[in-house]
Amino acid sequence: MATVLVRELIEAGVHFGHRASRWNPKMRSYIYARRNLIHIIDVRETVRGLLRARKYLQRVAAGGSLVLFVGTKRQASDTMEQQAPRCGMPFVSDRWLGGTLTNFRTIRSRLSRLEELEAMRESGEIESYSKKMQSALNREYRKMYRNLNGIRSMNRLPECLVIVDPRKEKNAIREAQKLGITTVSLIDTDCDPDEVDLPIPGNDDSIRSIELIVQLLADAVLSGKASSGELKQGAAEGVVPAVAAVAEGDGGAQA
């Protein structure tokens, strides 16, 4: 499994860092070598960070908590819009609104305005306004939809943030730190690993790299949800101890 994962990471270019002149010295322990003025990230460190993050996300999802996916840079936005809904989690892919976490109640109240505008468009009520007003309302709707659509399902604060490039998402990092929310982040050689709780060293500019890492993290969330469902079903049927025993037996066999 580890060998297959390493091959996939290398094929996706996860090991390519930034130019050596742009590096953050705190990333020294995650760098394997320098080639043609480019830092090469140690893939073994990427795998370690990825496995730690996956294990944590499985536990969070199994507990029924929310994971907020954040990636507003051009290379990451499409991936966030695909992977977060796939695992049933909220996302921010266009712009981080100040106060999304620290002023959560106000942000939630703005969703009622978005729903109001959607109702006007669907019922045709918007056509009763002048063309100038229609244009203004449609513009307001498009802006609010881009900013808020991904967090419609976020009815409470998340337990964790999955972030691509903490330099780009510094405002999200700052709000998470203020509230004690755990951060999992894909970090390149120009980032500060001390700013995040669970760093995953890797290329945060390549679309393929971002797609692979975020997909694996979304899979971990799905796995956690599935295990939670199995435990609940087992508890209802009174077979949780048997399931646990089987799990322990499998672990021993694999070891």
pLDDT (tens, 9 = 90+) of the chain, 255 residues, equals 567 788 888 888 899 888 888 888 999 999 988 888 889 999 999 999 999 999 999 999 999 999 999 999 999 999 999 999 999 999 999 999 999 999 998 888 888 888 899 999 899 898 988 999 999 999 999 999 998 999 988 989 999 999 999 999 999 999 999 999 999 999 999 999 999 999 999 999 999 999 999 999 999 999 999 987 755 555 555 544 333 333 334 444 333
Q: Provide the strand spans (E) within 55-212.
A: 67-70, 91-92, 160-164, 182-187, 198-201
Burial class (CB in 10 A: 0-12, 13-18, 19+), 30: buried
Domain stops at, among 120, 154, 188: 154
Residue 161 lies in a domain: yes
Burial class (CB in 10 A: 0-12, 13-18, 19+), 156: exposed
Residue 242 lies in a domain: no
111 and 228 fall within a common domain: no
* pLDDT score for 18: 84
Residue 220 lies in a domain: yes
141 and 61 fall within a common domain: no
The residue written with tokens 């419609």 in the block is 152
Nearest to 139 by CA among 112, 115, 117: 117
85 and 114 fall within a common domain: no
88 and 170 fall within a common domain: yes
57 and 78 fall within a common domain: yes
Task: Note down the domain range covering 121.
Answer: 104-154
Residue 35 lies in a domain: no
How many distinct structural domains can be found in the chain? 2
- Contact by Cβ (8 Å): 221, 85: no
Strand order, beta sheet including 182-187: 91-92, 67-70, 160-164, 182-187, 198-201
* pLDDT score for 161: 97
Other CB atoms closer than 10 Å to residue 28's CB: what's the count? 11
CB contact set of 94 (below 8 Å; sequence gap of 6+): 72, 77, 146, 147, 150
* pLDDT score for 232: 59
pTM assigned to the model: 0.84
111 and 197 fall within a common domain: no
77 and 175 fall within a common domain: yes
CATH of the domain at 64: 3.40.50.10490
Residue 31 lies in a domain: no
Question: CA quadruple 227, 176, 53, 148: dihedral positive or negative?
Answer: positive
83 and 122 fall within a common domain: no
166 and 231 fall within a common domain: yes
134 and 93 fall within a common domain: no
CB contact set of 246 (below 8 Å; sequence gap of 6+): none
Residue 28 lies in a domain: no
125 and 208 fall within a common domain: no
Nearest to 191 by CA among 209, 176, 203, 174: 203
